[in-house]
Amino acid sequence: MVFSSLIFLYLFLPVCLLCYGLSPSLPVKNAVLMLFSLAFYAWGEPTYIILLLISVLMNYLFGLGIGKCQQTKKAGLSKVIMIISMIFNLGLLGVFKYSGFIVENLNLIPGVSLPIPHLTLPIGISFYTFQILSYIIDLYWEEIDVQRNPFHLLLYISMFPQLIAGPIVRYSSIADEIKNRKITIVDISEGLTRLMMGLGKKVILANHLSTIVDDFFGENIQLSVAGTWYAVIVYAMQIYFDFSGYSDMAIGMGRMFGFHFDENFRHPFLCKDISEFWQRWHISLGTFFRDYVLYIPIFGKRRKYGGLFLVWFCTGLWHGASWNYIIWGLYFGTFILIEQLIGKKRIKKIPLVLRHVYNKIVIIVGFGIFYFEDIGRLGSFFRNLVGLNGNALYDNVTELSVRNNLFLLIAAFACCFPLYEGVKMLRNRHASLVKVTNVLQAVWNAALLVVSSILLVDATNNPFLYFRF
């Protein structure tokens, strides 16, 4: 069940909110939320829910084990359990997500011919595996207390707002809120606002941008240079609104249930360099790798560069079992390495305009790599970008598409900037705006909900992009 569907918005969510709201105490609320979350997952993955449950149960036991060892000061045993847990979790992810990819690549070696396993990828496995890992590792590092209530752990992992498309919520960030949280009317209001914002981003902007992308990047379509650039820029915006829209909805719904998730996107296209881009784009993933992978001591003296390479390899691979994602990750890693070698101080001396041009081109071309899973088509995309395919520089199809979608494109472009924050700042400075903005907020939310819902009636084009993750 995707958030941007009528059955979710007008059946699942209202019923869930009603039950949650009518629950008299926090333990009951937790139970309601957990049951609805499991129902939510079972709706999309009727069989793989077993996998989720097993995974949570095993890690609950691993957690207890680590906790026990720490109490009795058996550091060695604690490490062993941690490593077993790693192998178990990453093993599951590897089997279900990467086995096909690994075997395909092994088969490229002459003489090797293994049957390719066809396992469908359980929805959200990449997200919840990482969430479990954050629990186990933090526990091993003694940064959190062991969770003795298996249902609390299950609630943390299965909580439906963040279950299938992130953000990757750390256990440490909501451990306290599971046991003790207050839900105020302000939380609900802010949560609803966030939910509508995300819904609008997804249904109004991303879904319509995706039709443009499909038209241009479909198979066997000859593109002009301008058309290629146009399409890949539109694609970058599509992914941003789709992904950040999902995160907004997750954060908003979390807030309505009283949880405060960390931000996942902070206007990434405003970045001044690539390093900053990744501090603004999919923050929960970036910080996850930074905290748990970057300092793995397996590269010895070359740890700095080795760690960097590993992080970006993993970042790429995490997005999908295909070479283009790995290239995509390493592509960004390369630019970040270059930026690190040049040094922050020296980069700051470069005129801002140049820095923006540089990073926008890198980011946009990066999205091209992200789009084309077929390496042949990726090559053709690169040639199209610079006109090496004998394609025209410019064609009127592109012009027409721009004209046809002008308002959409302008709106999408504008929404890449922190408009909402801008209005908030104005309001904070001018007391006369407070009341107006409060009214506008309510009206705007209602409008977003109504327009998005109507558009969803004709949902011929409502892609769910995270099935690969």
Partner 1 sequence: MLNEEIRKEQYSKDEDFSEEELERLQKRLEYYSEISKARAIRREAAACRMAESADASKKETAATDWYERIQSASEEDAELLIDDILKEIQSSSTAEEEASFAEEAETYEDTVVSHGKTAYVPEKKATETVPEKDPASSAVKPKKREAEQEQKRKPQKTAVSVQSQAPASSRLRTSGKAVKKLQKETNRQWKKEAGNYISGKMISANKKKAAIWNTAVSLTLLFGIAAGMVLLERPTISNEENRTLARMPVFSVDSYLSGEYTNGVSEYYNDTVPMRSTFKGMIQSIRKYMGLNNSSVIHGGVPVLQEEEPAVTTTTLPPVTTMLTQKTRTEGEETETTTTVTEAAEEEPEKEGEISNSILVVDNRGIMLFGGWEKMGEPYANILNRYKQDLPEVNVYSMVVPTVCSYYIPENLKHLVSSEKANIDYIGQCLENVTPVDVYSALEKHKDEPIYMRTDHHWAGLGAFYAAEAFSAEARVPFARIEEYEKHSKEGYVGTLYGYSNDIKLKENPEEFVWYTPKCNYTTTFISSDLSSQYETNFFANIDGWAPVSWYMVYMSGDDHIVHLETEVKNGRRLAVIKDSYGNALIPWLTSSFEEIYVIDMRYFGVNVISYMREKGITDLLFAMNSFSANGTNAQKMETIRVQP
Site residues (CB under 8 A) for partner 1, limited to 20-79? 43-47
Quick one: which of 166, 172, 132 has its CA closest to 51? 132
Q: Does 213 bind partner 1 (CB under 8 A)?
A: no
User: According to CB under 8 A, which one of 20, 385, 401, 466 is a site residue for partner 1?
Assistant: 401
Q: Which is nearer to partner 1, 109 or 458 (CB)?
A: 458
By CB under 8 A, which span of 5-13, 23-31, 163-171, 262-270 interacts with partner 1? 5-13
Q: Residue 8 gets which letter from DSSP? A: I
Q: How many residues does the chain have?
A: 469
Q: Which is nearer to partner 1, 111 or 219 (CB)?
A: 219
Residue 42 CB, shortest distance to partner 1, in Å, is 8
User: According to CB under 8 A, which one of 97, 202, 208, 255 is a site residue for partner 1?
Assistant: 208
Chain mean position to CA 54: 24
The one catalytic residue among 118, 267, 319, 430: 319
Q: Does 17 bind partner 1 (CB under 8 A)?
A: yes
Q: Which parts of 327-356 interact with partner 1 (CB under 8 A)?
A: none
Q: Residue 300 gets which letter from DSSP? A: G
Residue 374 CB, shortest distance to partner 1, in Å, is 14
User: According to CB under 8 A, which one of 64, 347, 449, 465 is a site residue for partner 1?
Assistant: 449
Contact 207, 462 (CB under 8 A): yes
Pairwise CA distance, residues 182 & 259, whole Å: 9
User: According to CB under 8 A, which one of 152, 170, 319, 427 is a site residue for partner 1?
Assistant: 427
Q: Does 373 bind partner 1 (CB under 8 A)?
A: no
Tell me whether residue 319 is one of the annotated catalytic residues.
yes
- Which structure tokens are listed for 454? 């109507």
Reduced to 3 states (helix: H, G, I; strand: E, B; else coil), residue 430 is coil
Q: Does 7 bind partner 1 (CB under 8 A)?
A: yes
Task: Indicate the residue type of 223.
Answer: L
φ and ψ of 132, to 5 deg: -65, -40
Q: Residue 309 gets which letter from DSSP? A: H
Pairwise CA distance, residues 208 & 431, whole Å: 37
Pairwise CA distance, residues 121 & 319, whole Å: 12
User: According to CB under 8 A, which one of 397, 416, 423, 465 is a site residue for partner 1?
Assistant: 397
By CB under 8 A, which span of 4-12, 105-113, 133-141, 305-313 interacts with partner 1? 4-12
Q: Which parts of 295-314 interact with partner 1 (CB under 8 A)?
A: none
Pairwise CA distance, residues 211 & 462, whole Å: 10
Q: Residue 97 gets which letter from DSSP? A: I
Q: Which is nearer to partner 1, 71 or 222 (CB)?
A: 222
Residue 41 CB, shortest distance to partner 1, in Å, is 11
By CB under 8 A, which span of 29-37, 204-212, 342-350, 362-370 interacts with partner 1? 204-212
Size of the site for partner 1 (CB under 8 A): 81
By CB under 8 A, which span of 171-179, 331-339, 377-385, 389-397 interacts with partner 1? 389-397
Sole residue written with tokens 């099935």: 467
Q: Residue 117 gets which letter from DSSP? A: P
Reduced to 3 states (helix: H, G, I; strand: E, B; else coil), residue 453 is helix
Q: Which is nearer to partner 1, 180 or 220 (CB)?
A: 220
Pairwise CA distance, residues 358 & 373, whole Å: 25
Chain mean position to CA 416: 17
User: According to CB under 8 A, which one of 25, 349, 390, 414 is a site residue for partner 1?
Assistant: 390
- Which structure tokens are listed for 337? 């390495």
Q: Which parts of 161-200 interact with partner 1 (CB under 8 A)?
A: 184-186, 188-190, 192-193, 196
Q: Which is nearer to partner 1, 77 or 397 (CB)?
A: 397
Q: Does 255 bind partner 1 (CB under 8 A)?
A: no
Q: Does 414 bind partner 1 (CB under 8 A)?
A: no
Pairwise CA distance, residues 458 & 447, whole Å: 18
Enumerate residues 6+ apart whose C-beta is below 8 A from 25. Answer: none
Residue 43 CB, shortest distance to partner 1, in Å, is 5
Q: Residue 120 gets which letter from DSSP? A: P
Contact 465, 239 (CB under 8 A): yes
Q: Which parts of 214-253 interact with partner 1 (CB under 8 A)?
A: 214-216, 218-222, 224
Residue 444 CB, shortest distance to partner 1, in Å, is 10
Query: 177 to each of 83, 133, 183, 319, how far by Cα in Å?
Result: 28, 19, 10, 29
User: According to CB under 8 A, which one of 71, 113, 149, 438 is a site residue for partner 1?
Assistant: 438
Q: Which is nearer to partner 1, 113 or 438 (CB)?
A: 438
Pairwise CA distance, residues 415 & 197, whole Å: 11
Catalytic annotation, residues: 319
